[in-house]
Amino acid sequence: MATEQSPKVSTPRDIRKEERAQRKAQRQGADAAPERKLEQVIIIGGGIAGMEATKQLLSLGYRPVLVEKEDHLGGHVASWNRLFPDMGDAQAIISTLREEIMDATIYLSTEISFCNRLRDGYNVMLSNGVNVLARAILMSTGFTLFPAAKKEEYGYGVYDRVITNADLENWFNGGDDHRIPSSPKAVGFVHCVGSRDLKAGNPQCSKVCCITAIKQAIEVKEKFPEAEVYCFYMDLRLFGKKYEDFYIRAQRDFGIHFIRGRVSEVSETINGSVQVKAEDTLSGRPIKVVLDMLVLMAGIVNNPDNAGIAKQLSLETDTDGFLRSADNILSITESPRKGIFLAGACTGAKTVPETVAEARSAALSIHNYLKNLQ
Amino acid sequence: MNFGFSLSPSSAVNLDKIDLSLYHKMEEIEPDVRICIGCGSCSATCTGQPFSGMSLRKVILAIQRGRENEAREMLSGCMLCGKCTMVCPRGINTRHLILSMCRYWDGEDHGYNLMNEVEVKI
Amino acid sequence: MIDRIANGFHPFVLPFVFGMVFVLSYCVYGIVKILRQLPAEDRKHFFVTLVTPKYIVKNVWDIFANCLLHVKLWKRNRLLGYMHSSIAFGWFMIILLGHIEVFLFMPSRAKFFYYPIFFNFFVAENETTLRGSLMFFLMDFFLLVILSGIVLAMIKRIRSRLFGMRRTTRPSFLDTIGLYSLWAIFPLRLLAESFTADISGGSFLTLPMNWLFRQFLGNNLNMLPTWWAYSIVLGIFMTILPFTRYMHIPAEMMLIPMRNAGLKIRNARRGFARTEVFSCPNCGVCIDACPMSVKKANVKDCTVYLNRQIRRNNEKRIEEISDKCLLCGKCTVVCQVGVEGSVLRVVQRSTRNYAINQDYSCIDVAPFKSQVAASSGNVLYFAGCMTQLTPSIRKATISVLEKAGVKYKLMDPDGGVCCGRPMLLAGRFAQAKEMFDRNVEIIKASGCDTLLLSCPICYKMFKDHYDLDGIKIVHHSEFFSQLLDEGKLRPKMSSEIKYVFHDPCELGRGEGIYEQPRTVLRQLGTLVEAKQNLDESICCGGSLGSLSLGFEKREAITRNSLDNLCVAHPDTIVTACPLCQTTFGRYSDVPVKDISQVLDSAVGEKSA
């Protein structure tokens, strides 16, 4: 690597000096209004939580620095097609948000190299060589979809006709997927793949898979009206606004079959379809069905990238593996560390509206925190 | 007046009257018996199921709702292969639970047979 | 050499005489008891071997090599080997030389069995005995050897790591007394012999000490008390020996001829099992070897404690220890006396009575038989229960068979009958037997000449327990190695990929298959090795052998095993067992694959 490309390394002494200068500038800046230097806030993660928080902080008069490791904003939502409960266009939401944060500093394809704590703030070194000083950091690092291949018995990556919820959304978005047959006769959805499963390392409910499965089942049925669609669930958890309406529509208008039983094994038939085995626990009988496509509802698990950043910022993980909030009722958006805030799925599975609301709340918390410091 | 149906006393589970001694014994040996969510994974994967109708989910329910002969029959078809332990999402040690149920089913400890002469090759 | 004591007796020998008579009587009683407990045909066979020259030579040699020289311990750790053999062999030599002295110099006293032990007290040197100086030298030499061993033993109590042991056994109360009396015996002997060295002769050790003592004591008044003390500690040691771990000394001398005679454990507590239990020297080598003992957990469930609890008839603990074990067999591999930890546990499990006994008479094998008879092929592939949950293994194995042009049949495409091994490991032999019978019927109906298995659990079961009239039983790793040898597969070599092979318990320690999977992997990429491998590989923690170990308690075991595998930073962990694969897959950061998957992806299209 060429030496001239390596970022400028600041010693702690330099940083303290710079920090002092910055604070001084801020104090003086109050009078010199036109040239006022806005306070920076670092937002790690450019999914919907990060974007919404950026938007709110901009309007509160800060200078948010949004860092995203991918080459685009929007996180998981960007790869989704339509969102429950109103089948809104996911892309539209992302583009709206993107337009609203045009004024913020946004670094794409950038990761956090290291961060260290200063007396009343943080110094964050980015992988692109930029060094950011801020008194507040917002962690909106999100989640990872459970790697479905880990659930070996379901045959993801082994059988051709087994896909995940994300694969299906990608196909809805116009992506090409040879695994999706042109006219399937039977399609199955397996709920709770990598959720509520100690063996998969995640005993928590992922909250959104039940409603996503029903949404996708309806969409599949819309595309392939001839197909029989089965949902294999352990418990249906339809808690949100209008979710129950979705369930009723799926049953009444689309004739989707709901089978209470967790799929235990998937095998391949001679012609390449898959046969699933489950127990229909309501009738108390084993059930088998041959499907042309099986969709695994991969759950929401902790983002493994969080561990590195969390360690540098001395953040703790909660017993569920996600980042720990200062309090799970009153201060969900605050971490136990001063100046570090949390928003979205980095603290646990959340729906899109919940995440957006939390991001706003985090922005307000940051604002109050910074205001009280001065 | 009879409307053509009635609850027959034998089919209703009266929680006030059922005998839970075996369930309590199992709670003592394998406390995880309490955390079954009845997902049916164990029954669906069971090697013995096609032959004997074994369903651990049903057996666990049976000992919580009053014993049934059906459950006893199911247990006698278990091959102890361990697939149910592998798939259980709650991590219940199902094999140990099954063995313990087989051992204490009638509420007695049948003890040991220390004079047994056996061919041991493992 | 002349008698110092006219009648050849002094009361100080009494404690020793008592101890010796007691321990000998106890051993005779023990031997008779164990022999009576053996099944009649085993007993008869054992007696025949005791008088067969071939066996006599082997027995004498094995006892010499194992009980005195501790050859196996030397292989494990030289310091540990030296410590044990210096005490055992040195003591043996002192006793032997004592007898030789009596026969050489005092043949008339040969009838007193305490004479060789206390020889130096009873005799006085005269001019003619200078020829004894060689004997005196040897006596001092071996005493020094023993003392060096005792010093090491003391160091080991404090710093066992120097001896290659991270953890040692916690001695019981009587063991501690036995230990201290054993440690005291030899320094006291040195003192006693030093006090008499000017009268009855000595050598490089005892003579200078005698001179030294005379410098500041000036008389021989201390002589008698030290001989008394020596006799008393000997007496204490002998008397408590049957109730301490030191019982292993006589028991192992019994175990070796019994094992050489081919006897096997036939009862949980009696006969051969009893001999094994008493032969356990409580060295604790099995504690470090036990995969469950990682992070200081389950230490009290290792084989050494099983033996102790069996000796105490502590049924509750026997049950706990027997049920928890993963039956990986590693303790048996490292055991210096060959206590079969796994067999002992399974046989304890077999003693239990059940209210419900499994019955498989409802299994109708006719559909299986007609299914296997219908298709053609000479290799019958039985995937097994565990492989149903790892479809990648089944798919890859079938794909390799196709590519190699093997004519195969599937025995359990839609589930089959369990091989019976999990039931066998639970100690329920009759039920397991019923399952094999069903499978044998199906296998024989297939008309195949080879039974192919991808699960080592089934493999071990079919190989060791089934009578299949000449049908070849092969594990897929073995079969793939053979296909490669025959040139039926031409895999692509990718030397940049580093593989490490995990030896599954049942395949490695169970059936001795170490080389074949490695031969396969060497043709696919670079093979690196784990820190502990082959017969000392560490169980993945998923074993069906354990009945009571819960899911969460196994995580530490699995992680420890993974750390052991990853010392050489492999790109892929390869195993040959569906259970190991699933277990590792839960926690591993490195991809875990079955050997069939790795081979299948390296063999492009059909190459035969």
Q: What is the pLDDT of residues A286-296, one digit of tens each?
A: 999 999 999 99
> Which domain-ending residue is among C243, C272, C289?
C243
Q: State the nearest Cα–Cα gap between C388 and chain B, in angstroms.
A: 9
Domain-located, residue C9: yes
Residues of chain A with Cβ-Cβ distance to B40 below 8 Å are 260-262, 264, 278-281
Query: Judging by beta carbons within 10 Å of its beta carbon (0-12, 13-18, 19+), is residue C268 exposed, middle or buried?
Result: buried
User: C161 and C28 in one domain?
Assistant: yes
* d(C-alpha C599, C-alpha A212), whole Å: 38
Please indicate if any CB of chain C lies within 8 Å of the CB of A327. Answer: no
* Closest partner CB to B45 (pick from A199, A200, A265): A265
Q: State the nearest Cα–Cα gap between C505 and chain A, in angstroms.
A: 22
Copy the structure tokens of residue C515: 């080389």
Q: With a cut of 70, which residues of chain A have pLDDT below it?
A: 1-37
pLDDT of residue A325: 95
Q: Which residues contact A156 (CB under 8 A, 6 or more apart)?
A: A148, A149, A162, A163, A164, A296
User: C171 and C77 in one domain?
Assistant: yes
Residues of chain C with Cβ-Cβ distance to A199 below 8 Å are 551, 586
User: C170 and C33 in one domain?
Assistant: yes
> Which domain-ending residue is among C451, C482, C513?
C482
Interface of A with C in 9-68 (CB under 8 A): none
* pLDDT confidence band for B24 (50 / 70 / 90): very high
Copy the structure tokens of residue C257: 């001829």
Q: What is the pTM of this model?
A: 0.90
Interface of B with C in 1-30 (CB under 8 A): none
**Using CB atoms, which chains have 3+ pairs under 8 A with B?**
A, C
Please indicate if any CB of chain C lies within 8 Å of the CB of B105. Answer: yes
Q: Give the residue ranges of DSSP H helices in C106-131.
A: 119-122
User: C455 and C538 in one domain?
Assistant: no
User: C584 and C553 in one domain?
Assistant: yes
Q: Which residues contact C489 (CB under 8 A, 6 or more apart)?
A: C400, C403, C404, C480, C483, C599, C603, C607, C608
**Using CB atoms, which chains have 3+ pairs under 8 A with C?**
A, B
Contact check, Cβ <8 Å, C414/A267: yes
> Which domain-ending residue is among C482, C503, C527?
C482
**C505 is in which domain, residue-wise?**
491-602
Domain-located, residue C512: yes
pLDDT of residue A32: 43
Q: Which residues contact A163 (CB under 8 A, 6 or more apart)?
A: A156, A177, A179, A180, A293, A294, A295, A296
Domain-located, residue C595: yes
- Kindly report the length of chain A: 374
- The domain that holds C594 is classified in CATH as 3.40.50
User: C572 and C462 in one domain?
Assistant: no
Chain C residues with at least one Cβ partner in A under 8 Å: 388-392, 395, 413-414, 551-552, 581-582, 585-587
User: C478 and C496 in one domain?
Assistant: no
Please indicate if any CB of chain B lies within 8 Å of the CB of A153. Answer: yes
Q: Which residues contact B41 (CB under 8 A, 6 or more apart)?
A: A262, A263, A264, A278, A279, B84, B87, B88, B89
Residues of chain A with Cβ-Cβ distance to C581 below 8 Å are 152
Domain-located, residue C275: no
How many CB atoms lie under 10 A from the CB of residue A71?
Answer: 8
User: C478 and C495 in one domain?
Assistant: no
Domain-located, residue C344: no
Nearest in space to C196 (alpha carbons), one of C164, C220, C217, C166: C220
Domain-located, residue C439: yes
pLDDT of residue B9: 55
Domains belonging to chain A, first-starting first, are: 3-31+38-142+303-373 (3.50.50.60), 145-300 (3.50.50.60)
User: C495 and C476 in one domain?
Assistant: no
Contact check, Cβ <8 Å, C392/A155: yes
Residue in the structure block whose two tokens are 């339509």: A82
* d(C-alpha B33, C-alpha B26), whole Å: 7
Q: State the nearest Cα–Cα gap between C389 and chain B, in angstroms.
A: 8
Copy the structure tokens of residue B65: 């709702």
Domain-located, residue C62: no
Interface of B with C in 44-63 (CB under 8 A): 45, 47-48, 50-52
Contact check, Cβ <8 Å, C385/B47: yes
User: C81 and C197 in one domain?
Assistant: yes
- For the beta sheet containing C450-453, the strands, ordered from the edge strand earlier in sequence to the opposite edge, are C408-410, C379-382, C450-453, C472-475
Contact check, Cβ <8 Å, A234/B87: no
- Measured CA to CA in angstroms, residue C368 lies from C189, C322, C417 at distances of 75, 36, 10
Beta strands in C542-591 (DSSP E): 572-575
* d(C-alpha B43, C-alpha B83), whole Å: 10
pLDDT by 10-residue block (mean), chain C, 608 residues: 83 95 96 95 95 96 93 88 94 94 86 88 74 83 96 91 86 93 95 88 88 80 89 96 94 95 94 95 91 91 96 95 96 93 96 94 91 90 94 95 95 92 95 93 93 96 87 96 94 95 96 96 96 95 95 95 97 97 95 97 71
ipTM of this predicted structure: 0.91
Exposure of C273 in the CB half-sphere (CA atoms within 13 A): 29
pLDDT at B3 over 60: no
Nearest in space to A371 (alpha carbons), one of A61, A25, A141: A61
Strand-strand pairing, A88-89 and A82-83 = antiparallel
Beta-bridged to residue A145, according to DSSP, are: A300
* d(C-alpha C602, C-alpha B4), whole Å: 69
Q: State the nearest Cα–Cα gap between C284 and chain B, in angstroms.
A: 23
Contact check, Cβ <8 Å, C389/A159: no
pLDDT of residue A33: 43
The dihedrals phi and psi of A151, each to the nearest 5 degrees, come to -90, 75
Identity of residue C311: R
Residues of chain B with Cβ-Cβ distance to C346 below 8 Å are 120, 122
Contact between A306 and A320 under an 8 Å Cβ cutoff? The reply is: no
Q: Check the CA dihedral A260-A262-A265-A269 and report its sign.
A: positive
Contact check, Cβ <8 Å, B79/C429: no
The 8 Å CB, 24+ separation contacts for A95-99 are A97/A48, A97/A51, A97/A52, A97/A55, A97/A73, A98/A51, A98/A73, A98/A74
Q: Which residues contact C576 (CB under 8 A, 6 or more apart)?
A: C454, C456, C475, C476, C477, C501, C504, C507, C517, C594, C595
pLDDT of residue B10: 62
Contact check, Cβ <8 Å, C391/A198: no
Q: Check the CA dihedral C28-C31-C34-C37 and report its sign.
A: negative
* d(C-alpha C93, C-alpha C413), whole Å: 66
* d(C-alpha A65, C-alpha C262), whole Å: 78
Please indicate if any CB of chain C lies within 8 Å of the CB of B65. Answer: no
Measured between alpha carbons, how far apart are the two ends of chain A, in Å? 43
* Closest partner CB to C586 (pick from A157, A201, A266): A201
What is the domain count for chain C?
3
Q: Which residues contact C558 (CB under 8 A, 6 or more apart)?
A: C540, C541, C542, C583, C584, C586, C587
Strand-strand pairing, A274-280 and A105-107 = unpaired
**Using CB atoms, which chains have 3+ pairs under 8 A with A?**
B, C
Contact check, Cβ <8 Å, C266/B119: yes
Please indicate if any CB of chain C lies within 8 Å of the CB of A158. Answer: yes
* d(C-alpha C112, C-alpha C117), whole Å: 10
* d(C-alpha A165, C-alpha A155), whole Å: 15
* d(C-alpha C438, C-alpha C433), whole Å: 9
User: C545 and C474 in one domain?
Assistant: no
pLDDT of residue C414: 87
Domain-located, residue C445: yes
Coil, strand or helix: which one is C494? coil
Contact between A64 and A58 under an 8 Å Cβ cutoff? The reply is: yes
DSSP A334: B
Residues of chain A with Cβ-Cβ distance to C389 below 8 Å are 152-153, 265
* d(C-alpha A224, C-alpha A217), whole Å: 10
Chain centroid to Cα C88, Å, comes to 20
The dihedrals phi and psi of C605, each to the nearest 5 degrees, come to -95, 175
